[in-house]
Every structure is written in C-alpha cells, then in structure tokens.
Amino acid sequence: MTWNENGGRLGEEFFTPGSSSFTEFLAAHRPELLSTRRVLPDGVVAAPGQVPHGTTVLALTFRDGVLLAGDRRATMGNLIAQRDLEKVHPADDYSAVAFAGTVGLAVDMVKLYQVELTHFEKIEGTAMTLNAKARRLAGMIRQNLGQAMQGLAVVPLLTGYDPLAPDGERGRIFSFDLAGGLYEKTDFHAEGSGSPYARGALKKLFHRGMDRREAALAALQALWDAADDDSATGGPDINRRIFPIVSVITEDGFERLTEPETEELSREMVEQRRGRPDGPNATA
C-alpha cells in the first residue's frame, strides 16, 4: 500500500513503530522527497553565479536570552537576486535558525527541520533538548554534503533558549561546517560572506548584560559593517523600507521584532552613522 492507493488511505509504514525522526522516516519510505539527498550527476557542478545565495546572518547573547538577525539580500554572482529575502526563521517555540548559502536548499532544509522538531515532539510527547536539536540539524547538514561539494552549500546558524543552563547562559548559539561539524559559540557569531566584518563589529560592540535594545542596535551596526565591505550583504533600504530581520528568544519564547521597531532602530543607527561613518567605539 502506498500514499496514493486505496482511496488515499495511509500505508502500513504509518502504523509501524520506528524512529521519532521524520527525516529517517522519509529516507526509508520516500527518499526522493528529501532535497538534501539529491546530488547532481557525476562531474556536474553548479554554475557560479547562477544560483541565488543568501548572506549575512549573526547571533549574540544578551541579558534575557539570545538574538538572531540577518540582512535581506540574495545575490547571483554580481546581480541582486532578491532584496527582501527572509533568512531568520523560528524552528520551534524556543529555538530559531538562520541561513547563509544556497537559498533554495536552505529554505527546504529549514522547513524540514521545523517538521522534524514537531514530529519528534508529537511522537515522544516532549520537546527535544537544545543539544539534541543542534545534533539533529548537524545530521541534516551532513546529508547535504554531496551537494555542498558540487557548489550548493547551506550554512545554518542555530540559536535557542535553554532553561536547563545556568542563569545568564541560557541563550546559546551553534554553528556548523559543511560536513555537519557542530560548534557551540560563546557570546556571538556570524555566518556568510559578510561574516568576517560582522564578527569584527560584534567583537568591538558586544558586552555581557546588554538589554534587548542594546543587542538589537549592536546587531544592526554589525550588519551595516558587513554591508559596507561585502557587496553580497544588503544594508537597510530606507527608500523601499526593507530592514534586517531581528528576532529574540527568551523565557517567553521566540519573538520577531515588529517592522516598526526594526525600522525605528535602523533609522537611529543610520543617523548615528552620519556623524560617525565607521561606527561607534567599543564600550569601556
């Protein structure tokens, strides 16, 4: 019995005990639905500049949790493919994922990851720990290794609020390499072509104990520095009213800053740059 037979009735695979992993279920019964398993034919490599890529994303911890932000630009070579791409997404109530890299595969991976976490919670009756969420995402990235080696890489950034961690350390940040290597970062991190400049800005601006507003302004300043030196990263587009996406995760869960709030902070940051083009000095 399959999904399309017997009047749409579910097949036996749906009633057979197995793994709580949705990706493992698909791999066993419908592997063709896993975009991360599809590899280009031997000898074929994605043409440079012909596939939209997204950059830059960053994360930093603050007093109440963790903040995740991203610019809105996607590029194809020297062309701007999209000006309002959304690179920051909730994974579940207490975690979020942002991405740099091949946009089409990244969006599919994020959607699959969201289903993976929901499926686990429905099967097991409890949510994954944050460490388990990070390991599960690392496994999905590893499945994409074949495509990454052919020029279709996806580089996510995972953040979450961990109620099991000590006070002051509950906002956590995880980065990954193309082979699914998992690394926990302290205080802040950035991914994408503009990440060296964003990390440099955060190294200067970050300090522990920041409130939400201070953290959001630091993230916007870092994205501005990335856009200033990396053509693939887009800064605030005042005329089109397109601003970076900024989200936070605290004990109250995931929250995306509203458009008016992000616009207000972006305009404040742009005005500061008029008087100091290179950005604010490090705090004492």
Q: Which long-range contacts (CB under 8 A, 24 or more apart) does 173-177 make?
A: 173/59, 173/60, 173/61, 173/66, 174/134, 174/137, 176/137, 176/138, 176/141
Cα 217–chain centre separation: 19
Distance CA 239, CA 263 (A): 12
User: What's phi and psi for 225, nearest 5 deg?
Assistant: -60, -40
Taking a C-beta distance cutoff of 8 angstroms, is the pair 113, 82 a contact?
no
Q: Which two tokens stand for residue 198?
A: 């964003």
Question: Which amino acid is residue 117, in one-letter code?
Answer: L
Helix axes 22-29, 130-143, angle to 10 degrees: 30
Which one-letter amino acid corresponds to residue 121? E
Point out the catalytic residue in the list 55, 56, 102, 250.
55
Q: Known catalytic residue: 102?
A: no
Going from the C-alpha of 15 to that of each of 9, 44, 48, 113, 118, the distances in angstroms are 12, 40, 45, 22, 18
Using DSSP, how many helices (H) and how many strands (E) does the chain show?
A: 7, 13
Q: What is the DSSP letter of 138?
A: H
Residues belonging to the active site: 55
